[in-house]
Structure 1
Amino acid sequence: MKRNKLLFTLLSVFFSVAAMAQDCMVTLSLFNESAKVKNYEDALPKYEQLIAECSDSKLLLYQRGEKMLEDLIEAAETKEEKLSLVEKYIKNQNLRLKYFPEKTNNADVLESIALIKYKNKIGTLEERLEAFEAIVKEDADNFDNPVALYAYFRTANTLNDKGKRDIQFLFDKYDEVIGLLETQENKKAAQAQPLIAKEQNNEELTRREKRILKNSEIYLRNYSKIKGSVNGLLGSKADCDNLIPMYQKDFDAKKTDIEWLKNAASRLYAKECTSDPIFFKVVEAQNKIEPSAKTALYLGRLAQENREMNKALDYYKQSASLEESKSNKARVFYSIAETYKNMGSYSSARSYYRKALNIKPSLGAAYLKIAEMYAKSANNCGETSFEKRAIYWLAADYANRAGRVDPALKSNAAAAAESYRARAPQKTDIFQEGMSGKTVTFSCWVGESVKVPSY
């Protein structure tokens, strides 16, 4: 008898759960149809019922819920209504992360929560800042929304403007946000780089490759615009006219404070305030307390300022060997390349530009510098006038790459490429020499080849 009662109870529970699951699916279907056509008056009560009773049913609930709540927040007429809807939105995102973690990008959810608070001025400035900081803490590598990155820095900038955070806090946030932007730029440039090279070699891209290249270039343009906007917000707060007197005033009191020295040297170097004596004083004090990759870099810059190029190279190479940050190492390699270029050692310069590009594929300036060196080598690369001028096609290809991986350089890169192409053999030259579609190989230091346009 007891066994029969237990069996009856288990069957009752089973059928009850099955019926509830069936009810959830029916309600979800009705909600989906209403939300899809933006009939939110009908959809919202069903959504609230599903959240209360069927929160682990389907991912679709949260996908449709997110869009519906975004639209309702936008249309809300009162502050109270907007606040209530934002709370629902945040709950929607957190529940999605809870019940469907494998189908949810953690950073995307945190970005959406931070942005909804930012756009609707929910909470204090500090609370909004904390929402963005949570993304950095939880999933910095995937913090890739350009609008969210800008909003993060703008929130920090507002706190500084209102006197609630000091200028060093703002500098730290600037470095952090620029670092996050450059991480994403490098990811997209790394995707685009081989496809751009393939295109320039006249190889056909697959449909998938064309889509990847298009999306990468869209993101690169957006990151470039956001970087410009972030720099615009920082503006004159970080120019030499403000930094130099500020650090001069504080130096005597702070000259044994290693963190202050690091920050001061970093900021002065980044803004190219390196010719002022305060830079030497700060670097010298930092190097006495804690020699590092950074101090070697700064000492290299000082040697370069004094035109001691070999000494500068020694310091730069020491810095590169000590530097652990990939992004910083790329900058050091670029400095080494620039020094070799200025010394006329083009092959060595190209080697270090390429090392910088291997680490930081979005460093379009390196492509422009290689293009410039190729163009300057025209008279030394080739036996005939045609061969010598052919190197300008190669220079133009490198200039074009610069604008594609770094949209901020697009205008300058396009102008440079056009100038190089104008100096390359023209259609009549190609016909006269019978070179249409052929390949010219450069046996000088360049060691590359270029295909002559076919006519």
Structure 2
Amino acid sequence: MKARFIALITGALLGSGALSAQSNDCPTMAALAYDDAKAKNYDAAYEPLKNVMEQCPEYSLATYQYLERVLEDKIKKASADAQKNQYINELVSVWEKRLELYPEKTSKGKVYGDIAQLKYDNKLGSKEELYNAFDKAFTEDRENFTSAKGLYAYFDLMVEMQDAGERELQDVFDIYDRVMAKIEEEENDAAEELAPLLEKQEAGEDLTSKEETKIKYAEINLGNYNAVKNALNAKLGARADCDNLIPLYKKDFEEKKTDVDWLQNANARLSAKDCTEDPLFFQVSEALHQLQPSASSAYSLGQLAEADGDRAKALDYYNEAAELEENPSDKAKIYYRIASNYKERGSFGQARNFYRKALDAKPSMGTAYLQIANMIAQSANNCGDDAFTKRAVYWLAADYASRAARVDPSIASNANQAAASYRGRAPQKSDVFQSGRSAGEAISIGCWIGETVRIPQM
């Protein structure tokens, strides 16, 4: 009690300016301020924390962390706009000061992104100013600008400026590509972290609490990024329809037909939207392949060959495209298309090889898992030794379908339905008992599948 009294007297003296900045009593000032902040007595902590930041700016990173919480609380509770704006400006100053003094413990991408998001949410600034704030976060520290909400706002502002006649349609496409590429990178990182944990879980192994937490947050992140992707595509809407794309690129083709960058952009956009029937698509693809053979030009020529019914030639072009492609997401799409060609021909083993290549390139591509599940289920009668093992094939199909749902929330509903359907066709508890087998027992599946599945707990 006596020590607390002395500390309070000392704090009062410091607050009155009796002690100089960065004095030996910074620990006392900070301790009192931190105690209130820890107890969530934010009103009481507000002024003391400001004093610590002003008089002892380099004392501890905790000052900025606590002051951030206090100001976020005050912004949330502020009833008047002027008061809210004051707290917003103070919070921005806190973030900027933290970045200045503790750059090794503060990421520019997150700080700049948080500043931009705070201003965006509170409509502080013009669309141009807000867009530039997000652009600063993206361009100066792309790696750490990972907010799903912030990435959407970044694109949304560009769309609004284009709607207002302040930007060109091509600018919208450029930002869309930039944001989608970043989202897919984040999805892949989350799915890559998730995959071995799901395999461990499916094998019946116990997970640590840390691993369970990793699964939880990886699935949350995948859900958030999927929601943003859907929102981006909805926002892009008719802007990316062939009716808009073909005139956009046709009017500039003669002038740009020797410009590799322009041809690559046009080729990728037309291909992605399946605007392949217009002669412009062939002109762009051929011009690009002559100037600089690339993954995109080879892929486009493969599309044209496939449309003409020459599947062998199409596969040659697709394989060439996959070898040339460096972007993991685009490489996955190419492998997926090759796999689908083999699947349509009934070459399930070859198809699975290419679906797996697609997953190696993009672990979050749940549709590849779902296609493998479908092929396995189709092969149940051919890949078991007896009635029980034939039906056991469906357990394996269900495992693949479940994994599809967990790595790719966009198909979770369909994938979970498929998994439930497969489990319904698999042996039930009475079947397992009558067969003399038990939960956890491994069953080898032959033919092209060549995998092992374990009898699940029922």
Give the alignment's TM-score, normalised by structure 2.
Answer: 0.89
Of the structure 1 ranges 306-315 and 26-35, higher mean CA displacement relative to structure 2 is found in 26-35
Aligned length: 440
**Matched AA of 1:160:** Q
**One of 265, 269, 276 as aligned partner of 2:267:** 265
Distance 1:53 1:453, change over 3 A: closer
Distance 1:453 1:87, change over 3 A: closer
Q: Percent identity?
A: 47
Report if the CA contact (8 A) 2:271-2:300 is conserved.
yes
Mapped to 2, the partners of 1:17 and 1:45 lie a distance apart of 16
- Offset of residue 35 of structure 1: 4.2
Q: Which residue of 1 aligns with 2:395?
A: 393
Mapped to 1, the partners of 2:238 and 2:265 lie a distance apart of 18
- Offset of residue 242 of structure 1: 3.1
**Matched AA of 2:233:** N
**One of 372, 381, 384 as aligned partner of 1:379:** 381
Mapped to 2, the partners of 1:50 and 1:107 lie a distance apart of 26
Q: Which residue of 2 aligns with 1:49?
A: 51
Report if the CA contact (8 A) 1:160-1:170 is conserved.
yes
Q: Which residue of 1 aligns with 2:234?
A: 232
Indicate whether 1:442 and 2:445 are aligned: yes
Indicate whether 1:31 and 2:33 are aligned: yes
- Offset of residue 333 of structure 1: 1.8
Q: Which residue of 1 aligns with 2:15?
A: none
What SS is found at the alignment partner of 1:445?
coil
Q: Deviations over 1:110-157 (max 9, x none)?
A: 221121121122232222112212222232223221111111111122
Report if the CA contact (8 A) 2:42-2:73 is conserved.
no
Q: Deviations over 1:301-352 (max 9, x none)?
A: 2212222221111111111221222222222222222222222221121111
Report if the CA contact (8 A) 2:197-2:215 is conserved.
yes
- Offset of residue 391 of structure 1: 1.0
What SS is found at the alignment partner of 1:352?
helix
**Matched AA of 1:441:** S
Matches within 5 A, 1:144-293: 144-293=146-295
**Matched AA of 1:312:** A
Q: Which residue of 2 aligns with 1:124?
A: 126
**One of 319, 339, 342 as aligned partner of 1:340:** 342
**Matched AA of 2:30:** L
Report if the CA contact (8 A) 1:141-1:183 is conserved.
no
Mapped to 2, the partners of 1:36 and 1:266 lie a distance apart of 53
Distance 1:158 1:454, change over 3 A: closer
Distance 1:84 1:341, change over 3 A: same
Q: Deviations over 1:58-106 (max 9, x none)?
A: 1111011112222333344555444443332222112112222233233
Q: Which residue of 2 aligns with 1:7?
A: none
Of the structure 1 ranges 343-352 and 424-433, higher mean CA displacement relative to structure 2 is found in 424-433
**Matched AA of 1:102:** E
Q: Which residue of 1 aligns with 2:11?
A: none
Mapped to 1, the partners of 2:165 and 2:401 lie a distance apart of 44
Q: Which residue of 1 aligns with 2:144?
A: 142
What SS is found at the alignment partner of 2:118?
helix
Q: Which residue of 2 aligns with 1:318?
A: 320
Mapped to 1, the partners of 2:33 and 2:193 lie a distance apart of 40
Q: Deviations over 1:388-430 (max 9, x none)?
A: 2221111111000000000111100011111212222233333
Q: Deviations over 1:242-278 (max 9, x none)?
A: 3334444554554444333222221121122233433
Of the structure 1 ranges 418-427 and 353-362, higher mean CA displacement relative to structure 2 is found in 418-427
Mapped to 1, the partners of 2:37 and 2:320 lie a distance apart of 61
Report if the CA contact (8 A) 1:143-1:180 is conserved.
no
What SS is found at the alignment partner of 1:165?
coil
Q: Which residue of 2 aligns with 1:453?
A: 456
What SS is found at the alignment partner of 1:22?
coil
Q: Which residue of 2 aligns with 1:429?
A: 431
**One of 64, 70, 95 as aligned partner of 1:93:** 95
Distance 1:79 1:453, change over 3 A: closer
Report if the CA contact (8 A) 2:405-2:415 is conserved.
yes
Report if the CA contact (8 A) 2:336-2:368 is conserved.
yes
Mapped to 1, the partners of 2:112 and 2:135 lie a distance apart of 10
- Offset of residue 36 of structure 1: 4.7
Distance 1:56 1:20, change over 3 A: closer
Mapped to 1, the partners of 2:396 and 2:457 lie a distance apart of 15
Matches within 5 A, 1:396-407: 396-407=398-409
Mapped to 2, the partners of 1:399 and 1:20 lie a distance apart of 60
Unaligned runs of 5+ in 1: 1-15
**One of 359, 366, 369 as aligned partner of 2:368:** 366
Question: What root-mean-square deviation, in Å, do the aligned CA atoms of Structure 1 and Structure 2 show?
Answer: 2.3
Report if the CA contact (8 A) 2:22-2:57 is conserved.
no
Distance 1:425 1:60, change over 3 A: same
What SS is found at the alignment partner of 1:21?
coil
Mapped to 1, the partners of 2:71 and 2:160 lie a distance apart of 28
Give the alignment's TM-score, normalised by structure 1.
Answer: 0.90
